[in-house]
Amino acid sequence: MSQYTYSKLDNNILYHLTINHNNQYISSIYPPLRQLITARHRQSEEFKARFHSNSITDRSYASYLSWTDQQDVYPSLHAAVLQVSLTSKYLNSLFASYSFTSPDTDTFYPIAVRYTDNKNVWLIERPPFLANITFKNARSGSVSTDKSYSIWMPWTLMLLQINPQMSFYEAYLLFNDGPLASLDEKCIPCFFPNMYSNGKMCLNQTSVMLQQHLAQVNSFDISTIYNFILNDYMMGGWNADLGIQAFDRCASTSKSALNARTIVLHGRPDLPKKYPTALTPAGRISNKKYLPNFLNYFSYVSLEEITSMITEAKTSDKGYYKQTYADLIQEIESNARSNSLYGTIFQAPGDVHNLYLKSDLYIDKSVDSLIKQNSITEDLTFEQSFANNLLDFQTSRIATEIETLKTNSSHSYYGSSSPIYAYMQEGKIMFSLLKEDEHDEKFLDVQVPLPLKQVQVS
Amino acid sequence: MSSITYFNRRNERYSAGPYSVSTISVEDEYGNQAFNSSIADDFYAQFLHSEFESNIPSGLIPPGLRALYPGIVVFERPPSMQMVQYLPMNMDGIAEYEQEEDEYPDWDNYYIPVPWQIYIASYTTLHDGPVINCVKMFFANEPLTNKNVKLYLPYIPNFFTNATLCAPHFDDSHEVYRYSKDIAGIMASAYDWIWNTGFNQDLVDGVNANINIARNNPIVNYVRENLTHDTISSFYRHLSKHTPEDVVSMKWASPSYTTYYDTNTELKYLYTLPALQQKFIEENDIEVDEDFQFEHIVTYEEFFEWINNTHFVDKTYHDIITSVLFDKNNPSEIRSNHRCSYQNAAVYNTPDQNNFIHIMLSYVNHLPN
């Protein structure tokens, strides 16, 4: 994996961009960007011509290909680091949450934080409540009528893994039959729709909207994050995207859940309209009927009944539920540690602080608005490149240019890791390289005008 | 068997306790030194200067944790009935009684209602985790939903008027260290220190302040109108006839910033608080320009006259926590009273000097071979 670093200094804002090119990362990259890279590569002749039209030589393009090692595999943008001055309330709040010297005293935790590492991992409990939800018996993208249900949510625990610096939010929703008495209790995943079988919530756009919400309300605190994710799940509308695999699993460990599943699956001959059979003549499960049956059934289930299903699942020796809260927390903390390269450092000298953002989010509008919040200058071409999903394209070209300049220059510069400062001037990015002089170190301006606005990819 | 010897700065053998320890030496049974001063420096770095450690283990936290700051755990408990085991004697009186009667005096038990309780516990991080060193408790009419929740002085004995608990005395170090070394342990020990160690007459300023200062409070008014020779017992007797629902809406005495209601020091500190300065400016229609400096425009005497009585200055959670965490410009006496520094660490809080040895031996055992 190769890493390149770029910076842009604009008045009091320093945009510092670190790009890791990891060939294996392409599958998880944000789809429009993946499409962009793929399309660009496939149309390499046209791409080359466009490079040429922007006064970049064939040699530069060759070195670009060589540099990104994309002869065989496409390059991708792995992670971005923005170093920004503390000029917004949002960033102040974010920083305060991670600061030892100026902790945030304006916000409070949710009422029942049951475990935390006070940074990335939070286990938050909530007593039972009656939820009014809407359900669309179709995939999320389909046009279909919603139907409302009232369903008891038992004791829930949400295990959050958050990394706001890199816009990373992951949540597990777990059921319990009472308040958590020990971390050695078994985890029973929430078995309602839009949930993976291990209790991981399908956040989809929630994390993007959350990031936007945090930026809008200029607040960063665990209560806001928890409430946003839970409310979004409860009020955002359920659909048939993920089925109810967790319920199927629960039925293998709980007799009550098995009885419920029998009715949900086979229907009730005495109430064929309300509970039609969910099996096709070929014996397969028809989600079209299975899911409405499930929700119909659970809208009549009392809190005691649903709690007893959870108790049976917890006490059963067989089945899937062997993982305890301690196990799950350990697994998540281990993940958090392995992500620390990109995520956990939020300290830098002076007033400049690193903001780590994942590739699939930094090109999102939320990050765009974040940058706008921190910018004084309205007209930022660099910003537009974010909005146009062209950032990796631009930075690759910049890197090529820099490498070429370094090679051709008679000056000696510090190695490839030497800082390259980029700044805006009349809509163009200008660079400064650190020059190694005989007596002194000083910055040498190497101005590379790149007409960013002219770059378009069809 | 290892033993620990303390040396002072002149390298003289020292045995009076850890207060002025400069060098620490651990000797084995043959008198060989197994522990040098550089390790001792490390010891100090690790044990005594680690109050800003922020990420401590969690454990299974009981509901009510509201905030974590470096070295500080804030939690709340809902209104409830609490048992106050009160001994209307001071420590000397108890010792005298024990000597004369050969038995411990009987407690007076009162089952009294208390409103929302906000606990601010500070801890010291030792090598095996955090240990509580100081706890404050405030009463409130509502849970901590925002930073402007008004805090009151608890009407419980053994509290200073700044709501700091006078640290209880324990027979041995186990009483301090037996809790889990995590957030849950801090919360459990803070609660136990207050509610499960008994109360005596050593320090009743907090209760008396409530009886004497609280305004528009029917319970206090009743006690004031029906004075007895033992006001505190009378107060608790009357209080125990009420429910948590009754007391949760009542106003109680405001805590001070000083350990006791020291009007002069308190006023000096209030004079420096931006929120009060702003309030003064607004109430007195003072024009503020770019060069405005409060101290140059408003004299101390004017401010004093405006405050009228320092006892009646309301304090919010924000005021208190800001003062605890940030206000480094406070007069030292206020800061030292509010911020439980490492000198107040559990090592010093117990009468058992062997605590220090216990920690040192524990530390030595944890050194890499």
Compute the average pLDDT of residues A207-235.
81
Cβ distance B64 to A125 less than 8 Å, yes or no, reads: no
With beta carbons under 8 A apart, name residues in chain A contacting B56. 118
| Contact indicator for B60, A183 with CB cutoff of 8 Å | yes
CA nearest to A116 within chain B: B58
Compute the average pLDDT of residues A190-217.
81
pLDDT digits (tens, 9 = 90+) for A386-398: 333 233 333 333 4
The whole-angstrom distance between B67's CA and the closest CA on chain A is 6
Q: How far is B266 from B273, CA to CA, in rounded Å? A: 11
CA nearest to A125 within chain B: B63
Q: Which domain holds residue A133?
A: 90-338
Q: Which H or E run includes A94?
A: helix A89-98
Q: How far is B51 from B325, CA to CA, in rounded Å? A: 12
Instruction: Tell whether B148 is within 8 A of chain A (Cβ).
Output: no
pLDDT of residue A60: 38
Average pLDDT, chain B: 76
- In a domain? residue A46: yes
With beta carbons under 8 A apart, name residues in chain A contacting B183. 116
Q: How far is B363 from A250, CA to CA, in rounded Å? A: 48
pLDDT of residue A402: 45
| Contact indicator for A33, A359 with CB cutoff of 8 Å | yes
pLDDT of residue B263: 81
Q: Which residue has the higher pLDDT, B26 or B303?
A: B303
Instruction: Tell whether B166 is within 8 A of chain A (Cβ).
Output: no
Q: Which residues contact A245 (CB under 8 A, 6 or more apart)?
A: A196, A197
Cβ distance A119 to B55 less than 8 Å, yes or no, reads: yes
Q: How far is A217 from A232, CA to CA, in rounded Å? A: 16
With beta carbons under 8 A apart, name residues in chain A contacting B326. 102
Tell me the C-alpha to C-alpha distance, in Å, between residue B156 and each of A252, A439, A458, B231. Answer: 54, 71, 74, 13
Please tell me which of the candidates B55, B56, B325 has its beta carbon nearest to residue A103: B325
- AA letter at A295: L
pLDDT of residue A285: 83
Please tell me which of the candidates A102, A115, A119 has its beta carbon nearest to residue B61: A115
pLDDT of residue A164: 65
* Judgement on whether residues A16 and A133 belong to the same structural domain of the protein: no
Q: How far is A44 from B195, CA to CA, in rounded Å? A: 75
Q: Where a domain ends, among A338, A360, A385?
A: A338
pLDDT of residue B54: 52
Q: How far is A183 from A167, CA to CA, in rounded Å? A: 28
Confidence label for A101 from pLDDT (cuts 50, 70 and 90):
low
pLDDT of residue A335: 75
The whole-angstrom distance between A194's CA and the closest CA on chain B is 28
B positions 88-147 inside 8 Å of A (CB): 143-145, 147
Confidence label for B92 from pLDDT (cuts 50, 70 and 90):
confident
pLDDT of residue B151: 96
The whole-angstrom distance between A100's CA and the closest CA on chain B is 6
* Judgement on whether residues A154 and A236 belong to the same structural domain of the protein: yes
Q: Which residue has the higher pLDDT, A368 or B212?
A: B212
Instruction: Tell whether B364 is within 8 A of chain A (Cβ).
Output: no
pLDDT of residue B253: 92
What is the complex's ipTM, to 2 decimals?
0.73
Cβ distance B60 to A116 less than 8 Å, yes or no, reads: no
CA nearest to A96 within chain B: B69
Cβ distance B326 to A102 less than 8 Å, yes or no, reads: yes
pLDDT digits (tens, 9 = 90+) for A288-344: 889 999 999 999 999 999 999 999 999 988 767 889 999 999 988 887 766 543 332
- In a domain? residue A346: no
Q: Which residue has the higher pLDDT, B10 or A141?
A: A141
**Which tokens sit at A111?**
């009422």
With beta carbons under 8 A apart, name residues in chain B contacting A183. 60
In a mutagenesis test of the A interface, which of B58, B151, B323 is the best target, namely the one with the most A β-carbons within 10 Å? B58
The whole-angstrom distance between A98's CA and the closest CA on chain B is 10
Cβ distance A117 to B54 less than 8 Å, yes or no, reads: no
Please tell me which of the candidates A100, A115, A180 has its beta carbon nearest to residue B58: A115
Instruction: Tell whether B298 is within 8 A of chain A (Cβ).
Output: no
pLDDT of residue A329: 93
Please tell me which of the candidates B59, B60, B65 has its beta carbon nearest to residue A109: B65
pLDDT of residue A241: 84
Instruction: Establish how many alpha carbons lie within 13 A of residue B197's alpha carbon, considering only the half-sphere containing its beta carbon.
Output: 20
Please tell me which of the candidates A100, A114, A181 has its beta carbon nearest to residue B70: A100
Instruction: Tell whether B169 is within 8 A of chain A (Cβ).
Output: no
pLDDT at residue A415 tops 50: no
In a mutagenesis test of the A interface, which of B60, B182, B315 is the best target, namely the one with the most A β-carbons within 10 Å? B60
Q: Which residue has the higher pLDDT, B213 or A95?
A: B213
Least confident of A182-196, A262-276, A353-367, B30-44: A353-367
With beta carbons under 8 A apart, name residues in chain A contacting B65. 109, 113
Q: Which residues contact A402 (CB under 8 A, 6 or more apart)?
A: A420, A431, A433, A446, A448
Cβ distance A108 to B145 less than 8 Å, yes or no, reads: yes
CA nearest to B322 within chain A: A105
* Judgement on whether residues A369 and A434 belong to the same structural domain of the protein: yes
Compute the average pLDDT of residues A32-42.
36
Q: Which residues contact A457 (CB under 8 A, 6 or more apart)?
A: A36, A39, A40, A50, A390, A393
pLDDT of residue A44: 40
CA nearest to A185 within chain B: B60
The whole-angstrom distance between A329's CA and the closest CA on chain B is 11
Number of domains in chain A: 2
* Judgement on whether residues A137 and A179 belong to the same structural domain of the protein: yes
- In a domain? residue A314: yes
Q: Which residues contact B299 (CB under 8 A, 6 or more apart)?
A: none
Cβ distance A180 to B54 less than 8 Å, yes or no, reads: no
Least confident of A18-32, B136-150, B215-229: A18-32
pLDDT at residue A109 tops 70: yes
Cβ distance A183 to B183 less than 8 Å, yes or no, reads: no
Average pLDDT, chain A: 63
Least confident of A294-308, B25-39, B190-204, B246-260: B25-39
pLDDT at residue B275 tops 50: yes
Q: How far is A334 from A345, CA to CA, in rounded Å? A: 16
With beta carbons under 8 A apart, name residues in chain A contacting B318. 105-106
- In a domain? residue A80: yes
CA nearest to B317 within chain A: A105
The whole-angstrom distance between B65's CA and the closest CA on chain A is 6
- In a domain? residue A344: no
* Judgement on whether residues A79 and A101 belong to the same structural domain of the protein: no
pLDDT digits (tens, 9 = 90+) for B70-89: 788 999 999 999 999 988 88
Q: How far is B282 from B358, CA to CA, in rounded Å? A: 56
Q: Which residue has the higher pLDDT, B311 or A330?
A: A330
Compute the average pLDDT of residues A114-133.
91
pLDDT digits (tens, 9 = 90+) for B227-251: 888 889 999 999 999 999 999 999 9
CA nearest neighbour of B304 among B261, B267, B279: B267
Q: How far is A223 from A113, CA to CA, in rounded Å? A: 10
**Percent share of chain B, pLDDT over 90:** 31
pLDDT at residue A158 tops 90: yes
pLDDT of residue B84: 92
The whole-angstrom distance between A140's CA and the closest CA on chain B is 36
Compute the average pLDDT of residues B124-143.
87
The whole-angstrom distance between A226's CA and the closest CA on chain B is 14
State the Cα angle at B42 between B36 and B48, rounded to 5°: 125
* Judgement on whether residues A438 and A332 belong to the same structural domain of the protein: no
- In a domain? residue A163: yes
Most confident of the ranges A280-284, B157-161, B255-259: B157-161
pLDDT of residue B250: 93
pLDDT at residue B224 tops 50: yes
Instruction: Tell whether B65 is within 8 A of chain A (Cβ).
Output: yes
Compute the average pLDDT of residues B11-25.
35
Q: How far is B83 from B61, CA to CA, in rounded Å? A: 24
Please tell me which of the candidates B55, B60, B318 has its beta carbon nearest to residue A183: B60
With beta carbons under 8 A apart, name residues in chain A contacting B187. none
| Contact indicator for A400, A65 with CB cutoff of 8 Å | no
Most confident of the ranges A5-14, A135-144, A295-304, A431-440: A295-304
Most confident of the ranges A36-50, A94-108, A345-359, B286-300: B286-300
The whole-angstrom distance between A252's CA and the closest CA on chain B is 29
| Contact indicator for A200, A171 with CB cutoff of 8 Å | yes
Least confident of A92-96, A130-134, A344-348, B225-229: A344-348
Confidence label for A166 from pLDDT (cuts 50, 70 and 90):
low
pTM: 0.68
Size (chain B), residues: 369
Q: Where a domain ends, among A287, A310, A338?
A: A338
B positions 15-54 inside 8 Å of A (CB): 52, 54
Chain center to CA of B29: 40
pLDDT of residue B173: 73
**Domain ranges, ordered by start, for chain B:** 1-49+347-369, 52-256, 263-325
With beta carbons under 8 A apart, name residues in chain A contacting B75. none
pLDDT at residue A384 tops 50: no
Cβ distance B147 to A113 less than 8 Å, yes or no, reads: no
Cβ distance A111 to B69 less than 8 Å, yes or no, reads: no
* Judgement on whether residues A195 and A296 belong to the same structural domain of the protein: yes
